[in-house]
Chain A
Amino acid sequence: MVFNFRGLAFKQSLMILASITVIVGLIFGVMTSQMNDKLTQMAIDNGEEISQANVTYIDNLFNSGKHFGEEVGATLSKEEMSKEELDEFLMQTLSNARSIVPQIVAIVVAFEPGMGPETPKGEFMRLARFVDNETKLITGANYQDKEWYYSTRDGRSSRWQEPFIGEFVPEPIAVYAVPIFRKDKNNENVLAGVLAVDLSIEFLKETVSNIHVPNSGYAMVFSSKNFPVAYPKAVMEGKKDSEIVVKEIAKIKQVDFDKTKKADNGLFLGTVAGGEESSIYYTTMKSNSWTFMVVWPAGKFMEERQNMIKLFIAMAAGGYGAMLIIILLISSRVSKPLKELAVAAKELGEGNFDVTIPDITGGDEISEFATAFSNMLKELKEHIEKQKDMKRIERELDLARNIQLAMLPGEERDENSDDDRHALAPFLRPAKEVGGDFYDFFKTDNDHLCVVIGDVSGKGVPASLFMMVARIILRTMTKNLKSIVKAFNKTNYALAKRNSLNMFVTIWAGIIDLRTGHVEFASAGHNPPVVRHKDGTVEFVKSKSELVMAAMEDIVYKQQTFDLQSGDTLFLYTDGVTEATNAQDQLFGDKRLLETLQKGGERSTAETCSLVKKAIDSFVQETPQFDDITMLAVQFNGSDEPVWERYEKTIDVSGKNKSELKSFVENILTPMDGAKKMMMQDAWEHYEKIVDVIPENQDILTAFVEGILAPMEGSMKSQMQINIAIDEIYSNIVKFSGATKVTLIVEVRKATLTARLTFIDNGIPYDPLKQKEPDVTLSADEREVGGLGIFIVKKTMDSVCYRRNGNNNELAITKTL
């Protein structure tokens, strides 16, 4: 497994670590600051403790020395002594002083020139010094330029001098110098000389060296001018006094150590003699402004701190590592099942519905998710299976609807029922679910047009099948019996006889006499049709509605009649029209239907149907259509024009016509695609050729027709049969009609592979359909040679029609290629 740096586990771990770092950093910061404060406080307390006793001791000494000096100075100011007296005084004083402050090693008195006892004009300096356990008197000289002298003389005030090694007292001493004043004759104070008390500071070195400071520290004493007075020798080995300087490291200031403020005490970070960094606690001594310092070299102190930090960092680093590993482990335990699920989801996305969902237990969110995921997969699978079933059912319903629609006649030309005396247009819009509506129209003979509309109870495939059976029985019965009531009775009987599902069908059917407009009709529980008269008035046909078909076997329907006038339109419909429902649950209703038909005025039959359809659509708006909407409009024209005679071939189901039937069925069963549906609405293509009536022109006509039909890719046989038909018909015209011109109109519709050829000649009236058919059962010797040609045409073409139109013979043949 490649570690994914963008993975959930890594991201999560990183975030947790970052948070921990921030928290630990804060704790560390606070701890460090606390620790520093604590350490500082400790240093201060420690320093104070160590310093206090020593500072008090030193201060006492120096105060005593000072006090002593002041006293002696005052005595000398008052009394003028002789040399001997002075010597005596000095000796006595030193002896007294040492009994109080043993560190006092000498008392010095020096006069301004001419002010001394012995040499009035010159210098006089005399000192009593304690050396080698005895007191000696020494005369000194050249003191005028000594600092202790002139600074006191010029300053005219007493004070501690910076320690130095004296000329006559050759050891480190601190000197307290007091000016000696005398009154002159004007009674003014005149400086007579300086008294100096020499305090040996050698003892300080020892005292300081012996101060025990914990944590490797030590004590030091500096003069008021920061001259090192006392320090442990061992620490400052090899250093000259001038090198022993205390410097503050300003930037790591711990306590406000500001010498200008002359704070009495404090703690600061600094260096001693350029040495290592140290914490230094200082106390300024009141008696002489000297400084007592306690020094802790940072080394150890810092080292401890450093060690603590190091330990802390090491612990943190180790902790981090451990934590990272733990978090990674936890995270990957979380993310691993997620990753597995992701892989499964990916496979699922690629269409593998058999993918195994990793079995994740633990009752946590991820196992919950896995369970949900696997449930989803299961439901998805089921859903898809269901969808497949739905698809199959939908396909079958679609097929059923195709069959249903294909069985219904499309237009009159297909049904060969068209003529000039009427016009007809059907309309059927199926509901989403296959319904049981149907219409039908056909001629029972040349002058009688039968129109049918019906509605089978219920919906779906059963209704659809029942509808087809009802329609075909009624059609066959009507064609054969040529009586609407007889056909109704027979059809009803046939349907009722085997009707275990108790379905029924409402039918309105009428036979229109196209010569007179007389209509004989019957109604099996169906809505009465509407007639729109030529004058624009609209009314329902007075139609007595009888029992629905297929309900009872022995129903006898009554024949009803009415008459259509020339220009009247008969409008048949199913309850899908009047019971179309809008969103407010209102029905389209009879009133709206009548209004629509009336408002529409005079229209073609197709326009009438589409007008009603539009009215319904705008009434129901978006409400889905629940029932089939079916209409059939017939306009009766009653023309005097000659009528086509018709010869229609019926398909012989037995024997050699099997292939024809098969292709018919195949046509229906093949679901129509969009393109084919479009093509169904293709107009007929129209071609025309006029030739002189001479035998040779037959070739021209044959070639003309072949040129049109060849691209349609019909069967070779159909083509050949059409060629023969042309031969027979044209040769008849040439031989018998006496015509001079022949017009051949070829009409084809590619979608249905249908061709219609109409021959128009101006010869004498000749109706080939009236010719006696030859008896094909006779023997060769008995057979006549004539009459065969038209017979062949009638047998091979789908239909043959003839009419005499004015001065012309019109002969039309149709053929499916």
Chain B
Amino acid sequence: MQINKTLENEKMTLALEGRLDTLTAPQLDAEIIGPGKLDGIKELVFDFSNLAYISSAGLRILLTAQKTMNKQGSMLIKGANADIKEIFEVTGFCDILTVE
């Protein structure tokens, strides 16, 4: 999986490419999860335009990130394909996440 991270003042955009599964989740985990990783970020944007699918490992990271952002700003997921959106729906994540 490829992660393109762009920082624009208080806005962080992560464009993901490939599969977000157990094997690749640690990469994303390393980018945003952990003490101080998202400090000062008010707007977190995931661009899923080039993401094929997401597994529970990825969902877990999204949930963690969402919890963090609930405290300090907003989180947005854009460009998710129908299959990923279906996973969000099945798991109830569509109610938690802001999916554009």
Complex interface: stretch among A131-139, A531-539, A727-735? A727-735
CA separation between A788 and B59, bound complex, in Å? 8
Check B55–A792 contact: CB distance below 8 A. Answer: yes
In the complex formed, the residue of B with least CB distance to A698 is: B23
Q: Other than A727-B55, A734-B22, give 13 A-B pairs with Cβ distance below 8 A.
A: A698-B22, A698-B23, A717-B82, A717-B83, A720-B52, A720-B83, A723-B53, A724-B53, A724-B55, A727-B21, A783-B63, A791-B90, A792-B55
Name B91's contact: one of A699, A721, A791 (CB within 8 Å).
A791
Scan residues 39-64 of chain B and give those whose CB is less than 8 A from a CB of chain A.
52-57, 59-60, 63-64
B86 within 8 A of A: yes
CA separation between A780 and B65, bound complex, in Å? 10
How close is A726's CB to chain B, nearest CB, in angstroms? Answer: 9
Q: Size of chain A's interface in residues, with CB distance under 8 A?
A: 32
Check B53–A728 contact: CB distance below 8 A. Answer: no
Check A785–B64 contact: CB distance below 8 A. Answer: yes
Q: Mark A761-776, 1 if CB is under 8 A from B, else 0.
A: 0000000000000111
Check A792–B90 contact: CB distance below 8 A. Answer: yes
Check A777–B95 contact: CB distance below 8 A. Answer: yes
Check A656–B63 contact: CB distance below 8 A. Answer: no
In the complex formed, the residue of B with least CB distance to A787 is: B56
Name B56's contact: one of A734, A776, A788 (CB within 8 Å).
A788
Check A724–B63 contact: CB distance below 8 A. Answer: no
B92 within 8 A of A: yes
In the complex formed, the residue of A with least CB distance to B54 is: A724
A183 within 8 A of B: no
CA separation between A656 and B82, bound complex, in Å? 11
Q: A777-B92, A783-B96 are in contact. Are A792 and B23 (CB under 8 A)?
A: no
CA separation between A699 and B1, bound complex, in Å? 13
A-B contact pairs, 15 of them (CB 8 A): A656-B89, A695-B23, A696-B23, A721-B83, A724-B55, A727-B55, A777-B95, A780-B70, A780-B96, A780-B97, A788-B56, A788-B59, A789-B55, A791-B90, A792-B87
A673 within 8 A of B: no
Scan residues 769-817 of chain A and give those whose CB is less than 8 A from a CB of chain B.
774-781, 783, 785, 788-789, 791-792, 795-796
What is the interface residue range for chain B against chain A?
A: 20 to 34
A residues in contact with B5, CB < 8 Å: none
Q: A699-B23, A720-B52, A723-B19 are in contact. Are A731 and B90 (CB under 8 A)?
A: no
A residues in contact with B54, CB < 8 Å: 724
Name A776's contact: one of B55, B60, B92 (CB within 8 Å).
B92
Check B92–A792 contact: CB distance below 8 A. Answer: no
Scan residues 67-100 of chain B and give those whose CB is less than 8 A from a CB of chain A.
67, 70, 82-83, 86-87, 89-92, 95-97
CA separation between A698 and B54, bound complex, in Å? 15
B residues in contact with A717, CB < 8 Å: 82-83
B residues in contact with A734, CB < 8 Å: 22
Check A695–B22 contact: CB distance below 8 A. Answer: yes
CA separation between A724 and B84, bound complex, in Å? 11
How close is A501's CB to chain B, nearest CB, in angstroms? Answer: 44
Check B66–A727 contact: CB distance below 8 A. Answer: no
In the complex formed, the residue of A with least CB distance to B55 is: A727
A residues in contact with B89, CB < 8 Å: 656
Check A728–B56 contact: CB distance below 8 A. Answer: yes
Check B21–A724 contact: CB distance below 8 A. Answer: yes
Check B22–A727 contact: CB distance below 8 A. Answer: yes
Q: A656-B86, A699-B23 are in contact. Are A780 and B67 (CB under 8 A)?
A: yes
B residues in contact with A727, CB < 8 Å: 21-23, 55-57
Scan residues 279-295 of chain A and give those whose CB is less than 8 A from a CB of chain B.
none
How close is B27's CB to chain A, nearest CB, in angstroms? Answer: 13
Check B91–A776 contact: CB distance below 8 A. Answer: yes
CA separation between A107 and B16, bound complex, in Å? 176
Q: Mark A570-611, 1 if CB is under 8 A from B, else 0.
A: 000000000000000000000000000000000000000000
Check B91–A788 contact: CB distance below 8 A. Answer: yes
Scan residues 602-657 of chain A and give those whose CB is less than 8 A from a CB of chain B.
656
B residues in contact with A796, CB < 8 Å: 90
B residues in contact with A780, CB < 8 Å: 63, 66-67, 70, 96-97
A residues in contact with B19, CB < 8 Å: 723
How close is A696's CB to chain B, nearest CB, in angstroms? Answer: 7
CA separation between A720 and B63, bound complex, in Å? 21
CA separation between A720 and B56, bound complex, in Å? 13
CA separation between A779 and B97, bound complex, in Å? 10
A residues in contact with B96, CB < 8 Å: 779-780, 783
CA separation between A608 and B32, bound complex, in Å? 65
CA separation between A720 and B95, bound complex, in Å? 23
